Amino acid sequence: MPEHQRSNLAFQKNNETPSSEETLSGRVVDRHQEDQEKSSDDEEKGGHDGPPQPAGFFDKRLKKVRFQVFGLWARTTLILSVFILAVLSLYWAVLFHVEQNISSLTVFVVDFDGRVAPFTGVTPLVGPMITQTTEMMLSAPDPHLGYETMDPAVFDNNPLLVRQAVFDWKAYAAIIIMPNATAMLQQAVDQANTTYDPLGACQVVYVEARDETTYLNYIIPQLSTLETQITSKFGQMWTSMVLQNTSIPRENLQRVPQALSPAIGFSQFNLRPFRPAVMTPTVTIGLIYLIILSFFSFSFYLPIHMKFVSSEGHPPLKFPVFIVWRWSATIVAYFFLSLSYSLISLAFQVPFANHSAETTAVANNPEPYGKGTFVVYWAINYVGMIALGLACENVAMVIGQPWTALWLIFWVITNVSTSFYSLDLAPKFYYWSSKLPDRRYSSYTAASG
């Protein structure tokens, strides 16, 4: 091939094949275009390679999330609203029928007047008048206690056995008309007995420590009203009878004016007063704290228990064994936690070492177990904490968070509403709660005898 042809072919080949510099610059241009496209895509998605940039609440990119949040918010609010209406109503409703159910608070009316020797030959006046008054009140439309006229033979004609029945919670209170009520009154005006005491005619017996709130709010006020009504009514009747009896010397009436007015009265026998005041937390708000302590101990001990099932170079514990361990550890922990709870009452001088007393005698804080009363009180707190806490432990394992918070509210309300107030005043719906832990809780019985 001639020389000039070879030169032309080489020139054409050089023109067709780009140089290495041209190739490198082309690649740079292509990569720059790709970076720009990727940058524009990232901007559309909300940012660069780092975390997304914050956006406004009404940003269109949050539209889907907003609908999800609104739906969850509405559902949660509905659940909580229904829960409030359903569960908190249990507390309000426990006192809803108090006025209609006051008659469930039984009060024995036992008339011994003229029925026990040596007073059987006297025509009774005091006893029949009181029983007639209480029986008339049963037919009155106003709220009234459940007065129940009892035959003295039921108590072997012994007024002390009536006291024992009240102490044994067979009645909330008892009105006892003494065997010599009419005889002593007549003797006072006939013989001018200056030692006559109108308060010896009748007795009102009750045990305030059984349920302080019920006694102070309902029983004692109604009994006081009844006593005033009976004293006034009998005084008018008796004064008229005495003044019409010309055989009674007027000098006698001047010497024993108490035999005319008030003529009769009621001695109060509160067999077990509720005192001292520092005892109140042990049977009221303290029980709420006991529930809360039993519940929240679950959260403190859970990370410790989970060490057995977390994979940290050891095989996890079998599930049945894990459950047994949790229950056992919780029960042992409650032994010491209940001791701390009990020591608070001891530190604030709640009496735990008084002597015992007769059940029919008035006594302040007698201790049936002597110096061992504190141990009994501790044991009751321990058993109560187990009953309250294991229920929380089991429910927490089943429902998990955040529903355990609702369980705590339910557990507190159901126990408190039925243990702070008398079930006799509550609607019959609440009778199922007689088996709840706080309802069965009798720490004050151990502390007060």
Its pTM stands at 0.79
272 is written with which tokens?
């077990």
Contacts of 32 (CB under 8 A, 6+ apart): none
| d(C-alpha 30, C-alpha 51), whole Å | 27
DSSP 357-377: --TTS--SS--TTGGGHHHHH
* pLDDT tens, per residue, the chain with 449 residues: 444 444 444 445 444 444 444 444 445 445 555 555 555 454 444 445 678 888 888 888 888 999 999 999 999 999 999 999 999 999 999 989 899 999 999 999 999 999 988 888 899 999 999 999 999 999 888 899 999 999 999 999 999 999 999 999 999 999 999 999 999 999 999 999 999 999 999 999 999 988 888 999 999 999 999 999 999 999 999 999 998 888 888 888 889 999 988 999 999 999 999 888 888 888 888 888 888 888 888 788 888 888 888 767 788 888 889 889 988 999 999 999 999 999 999 999 888 888 888 999 999 888 878 888 899 889 989 988 898 888 888 888 888 888 888 998 998 888 888 888 888 898 888 877 766 665 555 444 444 45
Q: What is the DSSP letter of 111?
A: E
Four-point Cα dihedral 186, 124, 131, 171, nearest 10: 90
Contacts of 373 (CB under 8 A, 6+ apart): 352, 353, 367, 446, 447
171 is written with which tokens?
């009645």
Q: What is the pLDDT of residue 21?
A: 45
SS3 content of the chain, % helix, strand, coil (to 5): 65, 5, 30
Q: What is the pLDDT of residue 435?
A: 65
Q: What is the pLDDT of residue 441?
A: 56
Q: How far apart are the first and last CA of the chain?
A: 134
Maximum distance among all alpha carbons in the chain?
180
For residue 425, the number of C-alpha atoms closer than 13 Å in the C-beta half-sphere is 26
Four-point Cα dihedral 162, 165, 167, 168, nearest 10: 170
